[in-house]
């Protein structure tokens, strides 16, 4: 296997291979995270969707399943953000991933505790800002990726970010096999990050009723971006629920979101004042508009219905366009082993072209 496959990403994260499993909300659980790490990759646990009071338990569960380093993601506007940060530091978690929420003070606090800060960005300006705030590694997600995503494809965005920052860059969005890894390394990236590909494994917690819908989706165009869920562009497998949301008026979506927000606030133990404070925190922590903040509760409720309860028609199925070219559910171990072999073969084949031609 090519020595080029052990990159600076492996050194910094303590993993064997430069393959990262992203912290998909409600999907990146303790089992999937540990399975990724045990297979030689680096798994991120979905701390952003972990219920208050349960973070410690989940981190202990990961440690019981693997002795390898792992990561945790979080959002500054989630109600238990401080709980996650304290647990990450206490458990000596190797890395954290996040969006644009944490300020320089929070990032310094994590770095001072030895935690690697590895945000995910979808624009060059956000990558530059993240590094200015103290990011150690930057994950760049192109428009092909699932969930919240931008409009610029990975093939354009990745080289732009590589030229703009000095820290290691990880490629995400449309990554799913060994050719993806070889291509990313050729661009100059330190590795790849995959969400959809790990969601579609036998170690994934997603019910088979939902996984079957992903597997039967064969047209990349049917995994498309919509703003109908929370006002932000997000990529989902098109289903009846997406069509229903897109057919609703804005006031109707607001009313639906308020109903979901009340249900969620009750479950989280937040009263009206607590919900208002959380909403203000979310509004002021990012570039989101008031409308996007109001509609934000639509997302976790409907995604939970899709990927936790396994209702592929009335819930949401976030996913990247790569889902359309995935035809089987491998274990994390088999998946990562195959990707590494494919990438090594591609790099070895390319190396032939760099050899001087034999003289006659």
For 123, the token pair is 């624009």
Q: How confident is the model at residue 275, as a pLDDT? A: 43
Q: Is residue 73 domain-resident?
A: yes
Average pLDDT over residues 122-135: 97
Residues 70 and 197 in one domain: yes
Residues 194 and 121 in one domain: yes
Residues 56 and 121 in one domain: yes
Q: Are 243 and 222 in contact (CB under 8 A)?
A: no
Q: Is residue 321 domain-resident?
A: no
Q: What is the pTM of this model?
A: 0.89
pLDDT band at 288, cuts 50/70/90?
very low
Q: Is residue 272 domain-resident?
A: yes
Of 48-57, 141-150, 224-233, 321-330, where does mean pLDDT reach its minimum?
Answer: 224-233
Q: Is residue 356 domain-resident?
A: no
Q: How confident is the model at residue 266, as a pLDDT? A: 59
Is pLDDT at 252 greater than 90 in this prediction? Answer: no
Average pLDDT over residues 304-323: 97
For 231, the token pair is 């006002």
Q: Is residue 297 domain-resident?
A: yes
- Tell me how far apart the alpha carbons of residues 233 and 86 are, in angstroms, rounded to a whole number: 31
Residues 199 and 293 in one domain: no
Question: What CATH number corresponds to the domain at position 138?
Answer: 3.20.20.70
Q: Is residue 48 domain-resident?
A: yes
Residues 194 and 341 in one domain: yes
Instruction: Quote the mean pLDDT of the chain.
Output: 90
Q: How confident is the model at residue 187, as a pLDDT? A: 98
Residues 144 and 225 in one domain: no
Residues 101 and 159 in one domain: yes
Laid out side by side, the sheet with 169-172 consists of 116-117, 95-97, 71-73, 42-45, 19-21, 191-194, 169-172, 138-141, 120-121
Is pLDDT at 27 greater than 50 in this prediction? Answer: yes
- CB neighbours of 192 closer than 8 A, spacing ≥ 6? 18, 19, 20, 170, 171, 172, 175, 180, 181, 184
Reported as a single tens digit per residue, the pLDDT across 290-306 is 344 445 566 788 999 99
Alpha carbon separation from 252 to 38, 150, 245, 249 (Å, rounded):
46, 26, 9, 5
Residues 96 and 192 in one domain: yes
Reported as a single tens digit per residue, the pLDDT across 95-105 is 999 987 899 99
Q: Is residue 60 domain-resident?
A: yes
Reported as a single tens digit per residue, the pLDDT across 42-73 is 999 999 999 999 999 999 999 999 999 999 99
Range of the domain at 196: 3-204+329-345
Q: How confident is the model at residue 271, as a pLDDT? A: 54
Is pLDDT at 321 greater than 90 in this prediction? Answer: yes
Residues 48 and 178 in one domain: yes
pLDDT band at 284, cuts 50/70/90?
very low
Q: Is residue 322 domain-resident?
A: no
Residue 190 CA to chain centroid, in angstroms?
17
Residues 192 and 227 in one domain: no
Our count of domains for the chain comes to: 2
Out of 76-85, 202-211, 228-237, 346-355, the most confident range is 202-211
Is pLDDT at 360 greater than 70 in this prediction? Answer: no
Is pLDDT at 282 greater than 50 in this prediction? Answer: no
Residues 112 and 31 in one domain: yes
Closest CA to 318 of 153, 208, 221, 199: 199
pLDDT band at 279, cuts 50/70/90?
very low
Q: How confident is the model at residue 293, as a pLDDT? A: 44
Residues 165 and 254 in one domain: no
* Enclosing H/E stretch for 92: none
Of 190-204, 215-229, 237-251, 265-279, where does mean pLDDT reach its minimum?
Answer: 265-279
């Amino acid at each position: 296997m090519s020595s080029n496959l052990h990159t600076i990403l492996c050194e910094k994260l303590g993993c064997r291979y430069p393959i990262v499993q992203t912290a998909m909300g409600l999907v990146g659980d303790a089992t999937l995270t540990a399975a990724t790490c045990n297979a030689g990759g680096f798994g991120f646990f979905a701390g952003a969707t972990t219920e208050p009071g349960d973070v410690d338990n989940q981190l202990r569960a990961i440690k019981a399943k693997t002795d390898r380093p792992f990561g945790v993601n979080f959002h500054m506007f989630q109600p238990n953000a401080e709980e996650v940060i304290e647990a990450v530091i206490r458990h000596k978690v190797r890395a954290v991933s996040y969006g644009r929420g944490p300020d320089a003070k929070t990032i310094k606090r994590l770095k001072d505790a030895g935690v690697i800060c590895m945000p995910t960005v979808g624009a060059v300006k956000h990558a530059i800002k993240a590094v200015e705030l103290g990011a150690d590694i930057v994950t760049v997600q192109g428009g092909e990726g699932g969930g919240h995503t931008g409009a610029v494809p990975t093939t354009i965005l990745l080289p732009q970010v590589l030229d703009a920052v000095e820290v290691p860059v990880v490629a995400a969005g449309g990554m799913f096999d060994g050719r993806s890894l070889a291509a990313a390394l050729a661009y100059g990236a330190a590795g790849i990050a995959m969400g959809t590909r790990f969601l579609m494994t036998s170690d994934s917690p997603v019910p088979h009723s939902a996984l079957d819908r992903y597997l039967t989706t064969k047209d990349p165009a049917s995994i498309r971006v919509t703003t109908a869920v929370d006002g932000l562009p997000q990529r989902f497998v098109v289903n009846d629920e997406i069509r229903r949301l897109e057919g609703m008026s804005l006031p109707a979506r607001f009313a639906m979101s308020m109903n979901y927000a009340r249900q969620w606030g009750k479950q989280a133990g937040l009263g009206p004042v607590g919900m208002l404070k959380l909403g203000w925190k979310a509004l002021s922590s990012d570039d989101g508009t008031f409308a996007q903040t109001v509609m934000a509760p639509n997302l976790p409720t409907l995604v939970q219905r899709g990927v936790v309860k396994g209702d592929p028609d009335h819930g949401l199925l976030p996913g990247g366009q790569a889902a359309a070219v995935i035809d089987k559910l491998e274990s994390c171990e088999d998946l990562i082993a195959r990707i590494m072999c494919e990438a090594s073969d591609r790099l070895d084949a390319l190396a032939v072209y760099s050899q001087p031609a034999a003289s006659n």
